[in-house]
Amino acid sequence: MKTSTLKRHLIEIAEKLTPESTIEDIYAHLSLLTDIDESERQEKAGETLTQNQVQEASAKWLK
């Protein structure tokens, strides 16, 4: 993850912190934002599967 993206995510998380927030909450939120960024990158790069492709692959795995 680029430093600018990490900084943006951390600022976004910091703005939503409550007194009850834990380091685990922060890590979970950062992980979620990172996963979303990666999913968007994969979608733009055409690295995703259609629903039919997933169903076909799943059928093979479940045999």
pLDDT in tens, 13-54: 999 999 999 999 999 999 999 999 999 999 999 999 999 999
User: 2 pLDDT band (50/70/90 cuts)?
Assistant: confident
pLDDT of residue 1 exceeding 90, the answer is no
Cα dihedral value 53, 58, 60, 63, nearest 10: -160
Residue 37's pLDDT is 93
Q: Which two tokens stand for residue 13?
A: 């998380």
